[in-house]
Chain A
């Protein structure tokens, strides 16, 4: 049905796609497997017409596709569900389905469309309410709106980009069921993912991409997981990480009975209490959107909780802001380094001074000491091996890994008592990921306490001493790493299981 031949695309010096051949027969689910940065999304964006290839041909159902836009792709019968949903939050399901659908004509008939949505919803077991506003729906339901959009438009090839990244395990099962049904109707599905297990479960065949090239193509029946992982990563996956088991010290970070509401009055954190000790890494896992971002903001001081307290090294910092908590020894690596952790248009030196510019040695009376800033920057660049021309380079020019190094250099300098790290390895290549994890473990060895918020279960298992699960703003489980069982973790993340906390694992919380 689909034939892509020798597709190539470069963005500046980055070769996203190199002469890729990719075919999809009718009535098959084909997986596109690869790590972050392997070129999967670029390839699909080319297919869908969001980006044009530098070279190569695309043929769909016998007709060539070139110079096309998403509108043409949709008209030809290709549908794409992106990682970040392309729905309009303020509009209803019906309006979103009608959007851009030429078959509805210029005069809209919402009632007729709503009925068609209901019919399709029951046919595919989607459970959709056409009049609901999208922003009030769960991420899993939103995804199903996207699917009904595609189905009603009669797509014959459906592309899903990392569809399960925001779903709980039961929702994933539901999605896979829907995809199987579509395949049995004779449509085809391209399933893009970096998660081995799912790809093996749902796909009929898998194409593996690495560094912009196709490195393997296999039928999924009978394939070896390790073999696939090796193809994806290109080297032996399981390199051991040195984790010295040692005893832990006093509680350095304590959060007690945190309750937080967002701007719309919805509760995001519900009676959350836990502590992190010196020399310990506590990893909080959970599907994105269950309170991780809100928790980090409350702990770090960007937001005030509705009630509850935060203690750093025994001192109550709840009333203080970001600067006060920093002074108390709290460091923060935010989830989004490009927009939050760094000012990409400023120099490395300025970025390194971002949190400490208002105090000596960088400030003398009313003036900033530019020389001191530069000197400090030089030291840090050397210490953290940041690859850059010099302290006055603009941060934007650096690679993702080096940018994260700047953030780490800034936060870890001065030996913080507590580090709150949000998705610190997101978007980084394996070497940079390794660097980050090493730094975290080094802080742990030096007696610091680390709160490690991540969506990557495997990574959490690597670094953590204890693992907690966040579900809808509550801590539904808090276990020592040795007692962890992936199946139980998955159920907790889906809200289907709530552990009475392992008494020895949950250390005392100070009485309010």
Chain B
């Protein structure tokens, strides 16, 4: 119940903000709703938007469960997209089922590598993963920019981007009449798999014990570095996968800056989803629809799109407050 309450409070506060800016909140929210859910087409767009959110949200949620704060989503997604693009452009002759699968796998591996790098720096040099993943974000995004200037770039385009990817690599549509692509199916599979991992496997048990108490985990023979590396690699894989899905399903090319903001969103979504894969799904959906609706809202009523970030931030703050207060109560 608590996350829902937090969202409601955040929406209420933002309504005040909209009113202060001179617009009618009810009209604004109505436009938001229409833009998000008004037609099958809109719903498809929203689900597409939600897919990377769900994937990265689950990755971050699993990290949180093991006491790891991973905000490297942006860099991992960027490199995941890069890897997928490279595969698609290098093997255009591969058959239409194999090529996307190959590209998705490459994306996941790239993300894993980048996350594992941050984990390694944390384990061997003591640099906290917040700073490590954060700084690597910048570097990762710049690597993509660099690649778009050179080998993967499309000369003559007014904007740093890759050439259009071969048709064979595109993710198939799953709903006629809309842009909804197969990524949502992948996301759903991941939700179920992550839930099973967390609650029904020994590794998930290790994560939960470590997240609850480090001394108890050590006592139980659980290796904190092993869990850290494992869970961050997993989160990196999910983020890289998300990046590959964005490239293969939405843009059909690699676009400079396509990964912007994903890392921090994932933290908000993980919190809103109470760190549980099953509930991260609606949280990710919420943010996805929020974003598609916001664009429509801006066009219709003139309320600027950064509102979404405001809602996100407020939601996080309310959830954090509730978490803190209840922890305080149980300590005393």
Contact = CB atoms under 8 A, between A and B. Distances in A.
B221 interface: yes
A302 B202 contact: no
Contacts of B38: none
B201 A354 contact: no
Given A357-B205, A368-B200, A368-B205, A302 B212 contact: no
B202 A341 contact: no
B208 interface: yes
A341 B219 contact: yes
A366 B218 CA distance: 22
B93 interface: no
Interface string A150-178: 00000000000000000000000000000
Interface stretch (A57-65, A230-238, A331-339): A331-339
A346 interface: yes
B219 A322 contact: yes
A340 B216 contact: yes
Interface string A262-288: 000000000000000000000000000
A479 B270 CA distance: 58
Contacts of B208: 346
Contacts of B201: 366-368
B328 to A, nearest CB: 15
Interface in A301-353: 301-302, 321-323, 326, 332, 334, 336, 339-346, 350, 353
A379 to B, nearest CB: 20
Interface residues of A, number: 30
B209 A334 contact: no
A346 B212 contact: yes
Nearest to B213: A343
B200 A302 contact: no
B220 A345 contact: no
A21 interface: no
B200 A336 contact: no
A488 interface: no
B200 to A, nearest CB: 5
Nearest to A362: B202
Contacts of B257: none
B213 to A, nearest CB: 5
A321 B225 CA distance: 14
Contact of B202 (A343, A350, A357, A396): A357
A404 to B, nearest CB: 15
Nearest to A351: B216
B215 interface: yes
A370 B212 CA distance: 19
Contacts of A366: 201-202
Interface string A78-99: 0000000000000000000000
A181 interface: no
Interface string B176-210: 00000000000000000000000011101100110
Given A323-B221, A355-B221, A367-B200, A342 B216 contact: yes
A16 B216 CA distance: 29
Contacts of B209: 343, 346, 354
A456 interface: no
Contacts of B202: 357-358, 363, 366, 368
Contact of B218 (A302, A350, A358, A368): A302
Contacts of A341: 216, 219
Interface in B271-304: none
Contacts of A322: 218-221
Candidate in A341, A357, A363, A396 with the most chain B CB atoms within 10 angstroms: A357
Given A357-B202, A363-B202, A334 B212 contact: no
Nearest to A368: B200
Nearest to B219: A340
Contact of A340 (B200, B204, B215, B221): B215
Interface in A357-396: 357-358, 363, 366-368, 370, 396
A326 B221 contact: yes
Nearest to A373: B205
A467 B34 CA distance: 79
Contact of B221 (A321, A342, A353, A370): A321
A353 B220 CA distance: 10
A343 B200 contact: no
Nearest to B196: A367
A346 B219 CA distance: 15
B219 A370 contact: no
B200 A354 contact: no
Contacts of A340: 213, 215-216, 218-219
A433 B113 CA distance: 52
A334 B220 CA distance: 11
A301 B201 CA distance: 24
B221 A339 contact: no
A373 to B, nearest CB: 10
Interface string B308-332: 0000000000000000000000100
A480 to B, nearest CB: 32
Interface string A25-45: 000000000000000000000
Interface string B208-246: 110011011011110100000000000000000000000
A255 B200 CA distance: 38
Contacts of B212: 343-346
Contact of B220 (A355, A367, A368): A355
A353 B223 CA distance: 17
Nearest to B214: A339
A297 to B, nearest CB: 9
A326 B222 CA distance: 13
Contacts of B218: 302, 322, 340
A366 B201 CA distance: 6
Q: Which of B200, B204, B216, B330 lies at the interface centre, i.e. has the most chain A CB atoms within 10 A of its CB?
A: B216
Given A343-B212, A345-B212, A370-B200, A302 B205 contact: no
Interface in B2-52: none
A339 B215 CA distance: 7
Contacts of A370: 200
Nearest to A354: B220
Given A302-B218, A341-B216, A346-B209, 20 more contacts: A321-B221, A322-B219, A322-B221, A339-B215, A340-B215, A340-B216, A340-B218, A343-B209, A343-B212, A343-B213, A344-B212, A346-B212, A354-B209, A354-B216, A355-B220, A357-B205, A358-B202, A367-B200, A367-B201, A368-B202
Q: Across the A-B interface, give the 4 residue pairs with the lowest CB-CB distance, nearest first.
A: A322-B221, A323-B221, A340-B215, A343-B212
22 contacts: A301-B221, A302-B218, A321-B221, A322-B218, A322-B219, A322-B220, A322-B221, A332-B219, A339-B215, A340-B213, A340-B218, A340-B219, A343-B216, A344-B213, A345-B212, A346-B208, A350-B205, A366-B201, A368-B200, A368-B202, A368-B204, A396-B330
